[in-house]
Amino acid sequence: MTKQWWQNAVIYQIYPKSFLDTNGDGIGDLPGIIKKLDYLKDLGVDALWLSPIYQSPQVDNGYDISDYRRIDPMFGTNADFQTLIDQAHRRGIKIIMDLVANHTSDQAAWFQASQKSRDNYFSDFYIWRDPKPDGSEPNNWGSNFGGSAWTYVPARQQYYLHYYAPGQPDLNWENPLVRQGIYDIMRYWKAHGVDGWRMDVITSISKDQNFPDNPNPHGLKYVVANQNDGPRMHEFIQEMHQEVLKPFQMMSVGESPDAKSQDARLLVDPSREELDMIFTFEHMHVDRQPGDVNGRWAVAPLDVVALKHILANWQNALRDHGWNALYFENHDRARTPSRWGDAKHFRYESTTAFATILHGLQGTPFIYQGEEIGMTNPDFELKDYEDIELKTNYQKLVQDNHSISAADFLKAARQISRDNARTPMQWNATSQAGFTTGRPWFTVNPDYLKVNVAADQQAAQSVSRYYKALIHLRHTQAILTDGSFDLLLPKDPHLFVYQRQLAGKTWLIAANLSTTDQDLALLKDWRQAKVILNNYSDFEVATTLRPYEAVILEKES
Ligand code: TEU
Ligand code: CA
């Protein structure tokens, strides 16, 4: 099978607000991204996914869009974005935009019209329901950002649905005019040169039209559950494929919070003509207590066996029936060395060990800004955080439910909260890490004097040099894109080891994901092997891997 461009690609995610500020207002901007295109080219990435840059009231950092055809002035102008597309293309770098199609901002023209009355052209663009006879919400659905998923509007004497903030009303995909409106937006940006889409919570677009109460095992007032994979989801995605993705040849990677490896094929098997790839959340849940009322704030130590099991299942399930999107970090996830590794004692080693494991798999690797220099979680206090998810969940769980203490919530926030990834990019050791000459919109991680691009590039142990090597392998070694996959030692609680094979070549990819030496007896069969990559400069094939030691070895058969 001939490969699509994205199957040989490494994609870099930019969170524009925190990337580089060029006008001193403390907010990253499009000229900042343009300025760093040579940096990104040098890193070797093939495409950039930009988190939303459209006009937005910023209730959820741009995931609440009020005008899908206009760049938010805080990021620059539409002309700046055109320059970015053109300059990126000149360097052979593709541009992927974030499509937020499950919901808009409440300031979007569609919603402004829709909320006015029950009988205008836009009345049915959103999901409106009558109150219950006692005036309360239509059902017990909860918002991801706390409280009910329904907000009452007196002008209509009805509630509208929002899975996220009240400022993020859910679109009514049952309405064909809504669907065509979204496809129009996609074609508009295609005309400007955009190459593909990352689709925000795309699996939430179809809702059960009976709007049944969610099961309520913990006896809560509002329950967040069953937001994905609604009855018409596949139909809607297939329609989008026919209307836009196929005729305009746009790449797609959909966010799919509930997808498990068994059902992933339904979204990404090419024969079904839906999406190219999906982001699963399954492997993001390997450090939480299952079934806990506090959800993702009920943190637990990393379960390496579960991580291996999940990633291996995805490798096997999608072989010849789809393609994996490989990621550990993004703007909703914490920094891997802090979350799963040891940022204090083994920052370089643990960052590169997890990178080796991820980039050795079949699929398209995604790198989140700062990941390539091993950025870490800041140890903030509660007052320092900005994120609406964190604030609303604190209110709900600590102050209303009393199901977690303030101290434990803070501990969890430092471990897994979304803000960990959103601190400004650390370019150098000058004031504000070189991110801005002004006051940054969000506190720079105090470790920037040590952890920054300039320092990393000079360092003997350079995380970015290691990432460059991984990206180079992805571009030159067919075994990474096509080779078979076999997980070894599935039950070992510390070692992540697997083999890839193609055309008489075998690669052993092995990492010790612990802080102590671990025996790996099978290495004795690899004494003659060629070392493709390693993260300890004095690596020799022995039968022990040191803390977070990682290696890729090659044998000809
Ligand atoms: O995320 C969807 C989503 O499920 C997360 O918000 C979730 O709450 C978090 O990852 C913890 O599990 C997408 C965007 O990536 C996110 O930034 C937005 O806030 C959200 O949709 C709403 O648009
Ligand atoms: Ca700026």
Looking at 161, 195, 224, the residue that finishes a domain is 161
CATH number at residue 327: 3.20.20.80
On the question of pLDDT at 343 being above 80, the answer is yes
CATH number at residue 145: 3.90.400.10
- Residue 482 has a pLDDT of 97
On the question of pLDDT at 540 being above 90, the answer is no
255 in catalytic set? yes
Q: How far apart are CA 485 and CA 498, in angstroms?
A: 7
Question: 299 lies in which domain range?
Answer: 5-107+171-467
- Residue 541 has a pLDDT of 83
Strands of 246-396, DSSP E = 251-256, 277-280, 325-326, 364-368
- Residue 444 has a pLDDT of 98
Q: Is the CB of 332 under 6 A from ligand 1?
A: yes
Instruction: Name 551's Cβ contacts closer than 8 Å, sequence gap at least 6.
Output: 356, 508, 509, 510, 511, 531, 533, 534, 535, 539, 545
- Quick one: average pLDDT of 401-430? 98
Task: For 502-518, write each residue's pLDDT tens digit.
Answer: 999 999 999 999 999 99
Kind and range of the H or E element at 12?
Answer: strand 11-14
Task: For 354-393, write each residue's pLDDT tens digit.
Answer: 999 999 999 999 999 999 999 999 999 999 999 999 999 9
Q: Is the CB of 201 under 6 A from ligand 1?
A: yes
The overall average pLDDT reported for the chain is 97
| Residue 465: band (very low, low, confident or very high) from pLDDT cuts 50, 70, 90 | very high
Distance 170 CA to ligand 1 centre (A): 14
The number of distinct structural domains making up the chain is: 3
Q: How far apart are CA 378 and CA 369, in angstroms?
A: 15
Q: Which atom of ligand 1 is nearest to the CA of 257?
A: 4
Question: Does residue 472 belong to any structural domain of this protein?
Answer: no
Which amino acid would we find at residue 40? Answer: L
Proportion of the chain above pLDDT 90, given as a percent: 98
- Residue 557 has a pLDDT of 80
Q: How far apart are CA 481 and CA 21, in angstroms?
A: 36
Question: Does residue 232 belong to any structural domain of this protein?
Answer: yes
521 and 446 within one domain: no
CATH number at residue 497: 2.60.40.1180
Q: How far apart are CA 206 and CA 235, in angstroms?
A: 9
The tokens 């609406």 sit on which residue? 388
Going by CA atoms, what residue is nearest to atom 17 of ligand 1?
A: 332
Task: For 11-37, write each residue's pLDDT tens digit.
Answer: 999 999 999 999 999 999 999 999 999
Range list of H helices, 11-98: 30-35, 37-43, 78-90
The tokens 């490798």 sit on which residue? 315
375 and 490 within one domain: no
Q: How far apart are CA 91 and CA 415, in angstroms?
A: 37
- Structural contact between residues 279 and 253, judged by C-beta atoms closer than 8 angstroms: yes
- Structural contact between residues 95 and 40, judged by C-beta atoms closer than 8 angstroms: no
Q: How far apart are CA 465 and CA 165, in angstroms?
A: 40
Q: Which atom of ligand 1 is nearest to the CA of 102?
A: 23
Strands of 193-330, DSSP E = 196-199, 251-256, 277-280, 325-326
On the question of pLDDT at 1 being above 70, the answer is no
